[in-house]
Structures are given as C-alpha cells and as structure tokens.
Structure 1
C-alpha cells in the first residue's frame, strides 16, 4: 500500500545550491557584506591618515590592498580613489616637500612618503597598461589629478612632473596599453584637446619617444595622437585653457612659436622613424592639411617628400601635393622635376584610385605657358597612348585635359593637322609610316612626340562606349571653346555611367532598337520540320553545324 505523502512539503521548490552547498542568494549576501565591510575599512584607514601622522603606515596598508597581484590586472579601484585623495591632501599640505632646515627624522618621513607616492604611481601606470578599459580610464583620471597636484604645490616640480616625471610614464602607458583604444580616446578628448599645456607636453614626450626606433603598430598610434591635434594656433592666439594652474607662469606655454616648435619636432621624429609603406602613404595623404601647417620651416619636410617621390607608384602620386607646396611657397629646387613627373605616367596610373588627385596636380604643373612645346607634347602623347588601355571613366577626363593643353600651347597643334607633302602622300597611303614617338625615352624633351600625331584619339572615336566616342571627337572639331573645366570630368565613375544608361526610361527613345533581324524557328536542333518544306532556312545553321550535342 503506497504511503501517504505530504503535499505541502513536496510541492516546494528546492533551492539551488552550489559551491559547498551554499545557496546562491546567501553567497550574494555574503559578497555584499564583504564589500560593505571593505569600504568601511578603507574609509577608516583614510580618515586615520588625515587625523594624525602616526597613522601614515595605513598608506602602506592601502597600497597592499590596491594591487594584490602586483601587476595591476585586477585592481581594487575604491582603494585607488582613496589613495588619490590621501596623496592629494598630503601634497596640498606640503607634507611631500622637504623644508630647508628640517630635522633628520622629518627628512626620513618625507622620503618615505615620496617613495610610497612613487609606488602608488607605478601601480596606476600598471593598471593603465594591463587592466580592462574601465579600470584604465579610472587610473588615467587619478594619475592626471595627482600630476596636477604635484605641479601646483610642490616647488620645482611644476616642470619636472611634466617633462621627466609622472607624465612621461602616463604617456608611455597610454601609447603601449593593451587594448588601449578607449584609453587613448579618453586621453585625447578629456585632457589633450581641451588643455593647451597637456597638448604642449604631449608633443614634447612624443618627440622624445619617437626618437627611438619603434614598431609599426606603435608608430600608427603616435600618428593617430598627432593627427587628432589639428588645431594650429594663429599668430595672435591667446593661451588660456590650462589643466594646471602653474602652467600660466611658464612663458613657453604662452608662445605660439614654442607650440609649433614642439609639434614640428614631434612630426619630424615620426617621419624619420622606420615607416612601413602603408603608414608612409597615410602620412602623405594628411601632409598638406595636418602636418605642414605646424611647420615654421616646411623645408624640413624636403627629405621625406623627395624620398617618397622617388619611390614610384602610388607613393609618388601622394607625395606630389606636399612637394608642390614646397616648390611653390618655399622655392624648393627639385632637379629634373618634370622628368620624374613624366615617369609617373605608366600603365597603372589611369587605373589607380589616386588618378583624379594626380590629374588635378598635373593640370597645375602644366598650366604655365612658358613650358617648352616639346615637353608638353610628350605629356599629351603619353596620355593619349595610355588612353588606349584606360577605363572609360579615365578617358572622359583625359580628352578635355588634352584639349586645354592644346589651347594653352598652340604650337602642339601640329600633332593634329600636320601637312604631308604630295610626294609622300601616296607612299604613306601604300606603306604607312612608323610613329616617331619613342615611348621608352625617359626624358620628355627627347621623345620626338612633337613630330608624331594623335592617331590614338582617332582610334578612341570608335570606342564601344558612346560617351567616350563622343568626347573623343572634340579633338577633331574646331577649337571654338576656350577651355573645359576638368573638375567636371575627374569624378566620373562606372556607377555614374550605369545610372546614366538606366535613366533612359526617363527620356523616351526616338527609335525602338532592333533585337533580332529574323526570328529563328529552331535554335539547337537540325531536325527539319514538315512545315519548313524539309529545308533548313533558319539563320545560324552554320553555327549549329559546329556544335555536337550527342
């Protein structure tokens, strides 16, 4: 006979137990109690330190509680905040400054406090290097607050703390931090950009740090930090936003030239480092707008730009902007500039993503009417030869560009309508002629392009794309237009061409295109039907005969 069960007991849920049979709710309560007790203990230790010097040993106790692992990976952040308050009060009260006529025991106490402060700073730096993002940001805020107190209240430490003391360690930790993207962003947005003294000393530390060979990853981080500081002070700028009050007494921090000098040294240190090719291209892209404005003497960029210009390929194209700035503004003498420019016109140019940028600069370089006709003719001929294998989006930009060159240099129009003597006319029609242009000659003054003709443009007038064929015909027509705005053609893309074709439905067709001349009755079979009279009359029977479907 089954036993009677107690429903009131059996219906209750059993509490989940883990870790030694202790319910999870009890474990949470125990953890909360331990946390509350820990906070009370921290507060008691801090208050005792503030009450009397005899409790200074509590500082060592708090430091031991802060970084128990010794590496800053799992820090006790409440302890870090408490220690920051403790040392801030001590520094503000002058307890870390040694009096002139202090007793020996007083010197020992000050030395002990300084050592504990340095130990606390090292732990904060370790947290910034090794811990999670939230702990890194907290450690950065505490370290910068401690730096401000040291620079404000300790005599003689107002500059040393920034140049060779705590700020150097903070900067290196920010740069080298593990997974430190969030930390670097906080450093830039909260300290560097809003405060001009922090910006100044960041430039100083970066210049010293980059003077040593660094890895590509570190250099990319340095470039990111420098690029973010893009607000160049004007000549009449007044410096007022300082993180430390003591910075207002530093005359160098109130000088525009001094700020530019520090930024210039920082950029030069990066540019002289061992740069990988992708990073070099990044620097060349931002050269004109982010780097050159900081330079009081832009000629210091000459070596970097000329070396980049001599690399070739896309790197040379990107170096053109900065190099042209030096030539135009600083009278840089670059030997054989047009010879090197001519060498950049290779088969990859018109397929490059930097094509539009290069053509804009080339339009500026060849704008002068004082250039020799032989030089301009070589560029025209080289571009027309490259256009034979260029994409349609590049051809529609090259032809108006050449049109403008012909208008600026009328002597080159002999390439379009050269008169042939009657004696040679029949010989040319029968045997043709060799193109006098030498595509392998590196010197544009010796290519013989002025003796040639633009048969390539005549070929492009039969291009498969109707837009290309139409625009190529402007070279064969009368030059009644003064010039074309090249900017209207530089950003022509495949997407734009496709949209133009798809937009035909908005413009009704004048004539419906013929799809088939004769509709066949059979496509892939040679079987003759009775209604065809036994004769294969469908077009394409020869093509079907060449196929074997067995």
Structure 2
C-alpha cells in the first residue's frame, strides 16, 4: 500500500509540474506575441511601442524604431501619419515630465540620455518640416502643421522663460516662408494663430525680419519675399494700448514690463519685418500689392512713418500705375501723418501725359486725382495748371476719357471760383481788343513747363472746352456745353462718368428712343460697275486699273 501510495503521489506531482510548465510556456508565448509588433495590425504595433516608451526609459530605443518607420520610403500614408502622431504624444509627455531638462546637478549618465532625446526630437521635427509640411498631400500637410503647433505650445510651457528665437517657432516660420505661394497652410497660420496670439505674432515678426536679412539665391529670395508680404498683410488689427489684455499661446510672461505687453515693441518688430521685406527687392507686381495697402496695413505699424518715404519715392519713378499708387501713399502720409513733401503736386502734375486718357488705369487716376485736389486751400495758379493741361489732353483723347475730364473741370471751377476767369475774360482796352480780333493771340500756357506754378495757365482760357462743343460725338459735345452755361449745379458725381467705354457709349446711343424718325432719301442703283451696257462707270474704271496693276 505504501508503495502504491508513493507512486500515486509521485504521479500527481509530475502532472502538476507538467501542467505548470505548460502554463508557463503558454504565458511566455503570449508575452512574446504581445511584445513583437504585429505585421497585420500596424496601429496596434505603434501603440504598443508608444506604451512601452512611456512605461520605462529602458524602452527609449523604440523612438528610433518609430522614426525609422516614418523614414521608410515604402511606408503607407496611414501608417506614417499614425507614427508621427504617436511620436508627438511621446515627446509631449516627455517634455511635460521634465525629461528634456538638465541642470548642473544632473548626473553624467542622465545628461547623455537628455542629449540623446533632444537629438531624436530634432530628427523628428526635421521630418515634420521637410517631408510632411512640404508634402503635396493635403492630409499630411494638415497633420504635420497641427502637430508642429502642438509641439510649439508644449515647448513654451517648460520651466523658466522660453527662448522663442531658438525654439521650434523660428524653424516653422522659415518653413512657411519657403512653401509655394498661395499655400493654404500659411494662410491658416496667419488667421488662426498669428492674428490672435500676441506672443506668436511678436516672435513671427522677429523671425521674418531675421530670415529675410540672410543670404539667399534669387529664386528663393523672390519666394520668401512674396510669402512675407502674404503673412504681413494679414495683420489688419493693431494692438491699441498696453493695458489691453493679450492672448498668449504659451505662458504669460512673469515680468510686468515684458516686451510682449508693450504696443511699442510690437510695432517696432512689425516695422523691422516690413523694412526687411521692402529692402529684399520687390518685383513690380509685389510693389503694387504693398503700395495698395500702405494706408491700411503698412504705415499704421510704423513708429517712424518717414522711413516709408524712400520706398514711395522710388516706387514713383517706376512709372505707370505704380507711380499713381505711390502718390496715393505719399498723400496719406502728408494728410494723416503731417509729413512735409513739397514736391507732391509737382509729381502729380507730371503724370498728366498724352497716354493718360487712353490708359486702362484712367478711372483709378481720376478717383485719386479728385481726392488729391479736394482741398479748397490749393493755390489758384496750381489748380489752373491742372485744369488747362487736362483740357489740352482732352483734344486728343477718346470720348470715354473726355466725358470724365469735363465734369471734373466743372467741379474744380466750382471749388475754386478764382479760376472761372479762364472761362470768360473780356479785354477792356479797345486797341488790344481790335488786335485780338484781327490777328488773335498766342496762348500764354506753356505745355512743356514741369512746374505747375509756372505754366501761366491762370492767364490763359479754356478754348479747348469750347472746341469740344463741336466734337463729332454728340455726348461729348452736349457735355462740353455745361461750361458755357450757368453753374447752377453744385457738383457732378464723378463716379457716373468714370467707367465709360466705347461699348457703353455705343449701347447708350443704340438704346436711345427716337423722338422723331430721321428722314432718309436713297435710290437703289441698277448698275454698280457700268453706266450702260457698253460703258464702264467710275467704279468700273477704277477696278479695271486695279486689275491691270495686279
């Protein structure tokens, strides 16, 4: 019995050992399955690697594995996107837990780990900036931009004052400047971040100024200049006062007198960014874009608006519509900022050339001219020069341009009654009158004089307008007669005459209702080339000569 019992006990022990060994083997097998990334489920594999990294620093090498996965050329887009999102979560958690911070008391082994983490982080950021943000795929671009802004936020929340100049934001701004023109990512950054957060705006302006002053090849310089204008032109709202609470993307500065709280500091950074842009060599189209928003989005950011004078003066020398826009900017500085520019009307007068009334920018010119000449305190001699010169140009202008000149002259005569002597000036001396009637007189107006104060127009008359009263186009002739009538109308709305063209004038004539049917007498000829059956007519003789010469 004892022998049997001993055998039975031994068998039970062996069964228990065998069962225990089998359970341990299965547990190890399951552990190996859970540890190895699944090829069938890449998302689960990425999440597993992420969990292991956050679980223990012994698994930091998994970061290298994830980065290698992103770098693989044959990696699927979904897998790459999942990987960079996981890496963003990893680095944000590590930064939040202080793993990127080192101090003098940090052991040497810890310093090596921190340095290694910073190198892997920089490698990851370079991938986002170079491969994903510049990708042709919109989804990859959007994901990369969102992650980069998340990393910027996390970086700025570290201990102590964050160094924005050496941080991720500066690299992101450079990448945005190197994106193709009209890229939606740059517009999204301007609308959702730069315009809203004071700290992002301040350091973005700082980065733009620093990057534009670097050395670049011609093509790169043109690209970053165009993109700089795109970013800067989005800033349509200027901080009003230092007391206004600002919105910050990162931590609020601890110092009460920090530059982020200063409107002057913000304007100074914007001024430097604009000056760097203007000095980078603008193309003709870029110059027009900047000139078009000088009054609204450029000059308000300048602490010293006189620094724009050189740019506006150089732009005037370009000619054409650019000169007109430059004068508009100069007029804004003179009118709103009280800057002294004595040669303004001299330059404006020089734009009245023979091609003005034929130009496609004619309407814009007359709108601005009406604004420039709106003051009632302008010298009569100067006003007379503008009136006289435009009257002379109207003699050779198209009807669509003449119909804008005449109402403008009417308004100027109403605004400056002293110039009405140009309409009708009687000669009291009988001898002079007799001399004028017999031999006429020479017009004292000097068309070639460049100084509007020295043309002698105030001594002349508007005989050109009287000549236009006999113009071949009935609309022009009728409109010109208003100068000879009593000035009962207070003024004409110039907008009603600016957008005229040959098509508009022709359609107006064709659509006009006839009060009286015109009498037309005609006779249908029986012959064209001959006068009789045997003789050729004048047209027949002419056609014969043409045939012989050919």
- Superposition TM-score, scaled by structure 2 size: 0.82
| C-alpha contact 2:102 2:111 (8 A) present in aligned 1 | yes
Change (3 A) 1:52 1:73: closer
Deviation at 1:247, TM superposition (A): 5.8
Q: Pick the aligned partner of 2:55 from 24, 32, 51.
A: 51
Contact residue 205 and residue 273 of structure 2 kept, 8 A: yes
Contact residue 281 and residue 315 of structure 1 kept, 8 A: yes
Q: Unmatched 5+ residue regions in structure 1?
A: 1-32
Q: Which residue of 1 aligns with 2:201?
A: 199
> Is 1:406 matched up with 2:413?
yes
Aligned to 2:294: 287
1:163 aligned counterpart, secondary structure: coil
What secondary structure sits across from 2:50 in the alignment?
helix
Q: Is 1:465 aligned to 2:473, yes or no?
A: yes
| 1:379 pairs with one of 372, 382, 386 | 386
**Structure 1 residue 279: deviation in Å?**
1.2
Whole-angstrom distance in 2 between the partners of 1:263 and 1:319: 21
Q: Distance in 1 between matches of 2:77 and 2:407?
A: 63
Q: Give CA deviations for 1:419-477 in whole Å, capped at 9, x if unaligned.
A: 34554556555554433322111122222223322221122112232221111111122
Q: Are positions 1:176 and 2:178 aligned together?
A: yes
Alignment partner of 1:185 out of 161, 184, 187: 187
Distance 1:99-1:286 versus aligned 2 partners, 3 A rule:
same
1:477 paired residue among 485, 508, 512:
485
Relative to structure 2, which stretch is displaced further, 287-296 or 412-421? 412-421
Residues 396 and 108 of structure 1: is their aligned pair in 2 closer, same or farther, counting only changes over 3 Å? same
Residue 319 of structure 1 corresponds to which residue in structure 2? 326
Give RMSD over aligned pairs.
3.2
Tell me how far apart the structure 1 counterparts of residues 338 and 261 of structure 2 sit (CA, whole Å).
31
Distance in 2 separating the partners of 1:431 and 1:523: 52
Tell me the SS of whatever aligns to 1:76.
Answer: helix
TM-score when normalising by structure 1:
0.82
In structure 2, the CA distance between the partners of 1:513 and 1:289, relative to structure 1 (3 Å rule), is farther
- Name the CA shift for 1:501/1:234 in 2 (closer, same or farther; >3 Å): farther
SS at match of 2:162: helix
User: What is the CA-CA distance between 1:385 and the residue it aligns to?
Assistant: 0.8
Q: Distance in 1 between the 2:507 and 2:242 partners? A: 50
Tell me the distance in 2 between the aligned counterparts of 1:264 and 1:200: 11
Q: What pairs with 1:272-421 in structure 2 (closer than 5 Å)?
A: 272-420=279-427
Aligned length: 503
What SS class does the counterpart of residue 444 from structure 1 fall into?
coil
Q: Which has the larger radius of gyration?
A: 2
Q: Provide the residue aligned with 1:148 in structure 2.
A: 153
Aligned CA distance change for structure 1 residues 147 and 371 (closer, same or farther; 3 Å): closer
Asked whether the 8 Å contact 1:175–1:221 carries over to 2, the reply is yes
C-alpha displacement at 1:55, in angstroms? 0.7
Extract unaligned runs of 5+ from structure 2.
1-36
Contact 1:66 1:79 in 2 (8 A): yes
Alignment correspondent of 2:23: none
Shift of 1:83: 0.8
When residues 448 and 481 of structure 1 are mapped into structure 2, their CA distance, relative to the original with a 3 A threshold, is same
Measured in 2, the distance between the counterparts of 1:232 and 1:138 equals 30
Q: Check whether the contact 1:342–1:444 (CA below 8 A) recurs between aligned residues.
A: yes
Query: In structure 1, how many angstroms separate the alpha carbons of the residues matched to 2:417 and 2:193?
Result: 59
